[in-house]
A and B are shown apart, each in its own frame.
Chain A
């Protein structure tokens, strides 16, 4: 076992980080209204780094994990995961995320199958998060031969994305409690606050290790994926708690990771063999 990240993967992560550092998320829309955070310009910049067709080669699962952690840290739109692994926006049971304006979606089929199908008439479904959910009918199937490889890459990237979300929650919280003072000292000095953030760090480290375990070509993701969403959700919930009312204000932006964690969890559950 090795617990350090290979230098070439660190380099790849750094270049993804560089692109994301220049990226501005779209302004928030009103909660409860339909919103799509799809960003094709960002997708193009990442594709230039090699963030595409990540499923095609089992050797590329390392970059998939390294890059997806960065996407999670930035709470980047989810179509970046789906299109690089499944080849199109993800569709499960008649719902497509980030499918608006796209010619096809990647439909999850029973028993781990996958089919690319054209998107016909669509209806917007407002959602907890700005993932542009549309309701569609599955029209006909073009079953993909390489479904297993594609799902493997998607699973690894999804867990890595959740690890990145959890990491962003921990990092923001550590910074916040270090600088906010109550009772004449930083919040960081309070045992109750330390205990909260320790739990978030526990979730984050578990997620990061679990994500890297999926970089091995023969790893089975089922159990890890079933656990990862809840662990990430907890870390983001803790971040909200540690921020107090500041994090409840939309202008803080903290809620982006919080809403995204639950969204990824529910989509991941729906993709599972249950």
Chain B
């Protein structure tokens, strides 16, 4: 093993850091950015446009689709830098890192050519409609129904906890296309513009300081060519999507920022060093997971390790940093200690062990797929 970054990777990260410094005024002007405690999960159309303009979205896609032809690992290394600078990345993460990965692999060529280039330009933003009231961890029990009628599917149902639906241009939907098949086999994936008649979005506030949405689907007509992957073969598409979602290097970048600022303020200590050690392991687990996907190897267990290590570190780090700062650590806002980020992360990181599959689910994936336990 040689876990050092190449010169090219270091140069890429330096370029990313310079970009982040340039968009800082956009961030400062955004009140949600100040209270957003869920690292890098903030929403900002302006930042997403800027990322697109500068060629940062879709780095691992080929140049003819608007990408840079780099690897997912390279993209992950850059995402960590974005996280260090607290870029609100929700649109980027959903549209490129997660849903984009599934489109690239499973969508028909015409759909790929239609959707990927505007994603890279920051002009097309996706949201992800998997979860339902009755289908959280038990995603396979989802009931949103899609019935084939002529050249279309007609979709009825209700999605919830949909990040960024209020800003999205398109929605990526997990639907049941055959209720008679065993539950994981009757699922398909469709994509549709969010302004398709019959789609309604409601948003509500979260403990992170941002929003989540619910999406109501009432007789929504979606052309059959918007099917992603095989009919009734959606489960494989969903699992592929999650393997990418669970690599969260951008969150680790935010933790690194917090620990750096803490050290400047209170000096080094054994407790801080332990957190840095944990961060080192979590980063490497993330980078390994990205490399595993680059090489087309089964990635469920390595991605689950990346996710679990990062999620736990965020919660532990937020808790410890507030403690080390004392009463000042409870403060929020620009004038507070560490710009209020410790308190923000304390509340925001609650979602980290839930979103994208809970801790208990990651443990099951590691045990079953990684260790072969049954």
Contact = CB atoms under 8 A, between A and B. Distances in A.
- A and B from one complex: yes
B323 A259 contact: no
Contact of B358 (A31, A127, A241, A255): A241
Interface in A92-139: 92-93, 95, 125-129, 133
Interface string B335-349: 110001001101100
Interface string A84-95: 000000001101
Contacts of B329: 266
Contacts of B358: 241, 244
B129 to A, nearest CB: 14
Interface stretch (B148-156, B201-209, B242-250): B201-209
Given A128-B346, A262-B322, A133 B206 contact: no
Interface string B12-49: 00000000000000000000001101000000000000
A249 B327 CA distance: 26
B10 to A, nearest CB: 35
B298 interface: no
A32 B354 contact: no
A126 B360 contact: no
Contact of A127 (B326, B343, B363): B343
Nearest to A182: B138
A38 interface: no
A133 to B, nearest CB: 7
Given A126-B332, A262-B322, A262-B346, A237 B315 contact: yes
B207 A129 contact: no
B347 A249 contact: no
Interface in A236-262: 237, 240-241, 244-245, 247-251, 255, 258-259, 262
B336 A245 contact: no
Interface residues of B, number: 46
B350 A250 contact: no
A184 B135 CA distance: 11
A249 B209 contact: no
Given A182-B136, A249-B205, A133 B330 contact: yes
A53 interface: no
A92 B136 contact: no
Contact of A270 (B131, B135, B326, B353): B326
A144 interface: no
A267 interface: yes
Contact of A266 (B135, B330, B360): B330
Nearest to B326: A270
A22 B62 CA distance: 63
Interface string B118-162: 000000000000010011111001000000000000000000110
A241 B336 contact: no
B67 interface: no
B346 A127 contact: no
B333 interface: yes
A193 B138 CA distance: 14
A240 B354 CA distance: 9
13 contacts: A32-B344, A92-B327, A133-B330, A182-B136, A193-B360, A241-B354, A241-B358, A245-B161, A245-B354, A248-B212, A249-B206, A251-B204, A262-B319
Interface of A: 30-33, 92-93, 95, 125-129, 133, 181-184, 190, 192-193, 196, 233, 237, 240-241, 244-245, 247-251, 255, 258-259, 262-263, 265-267, 269-270
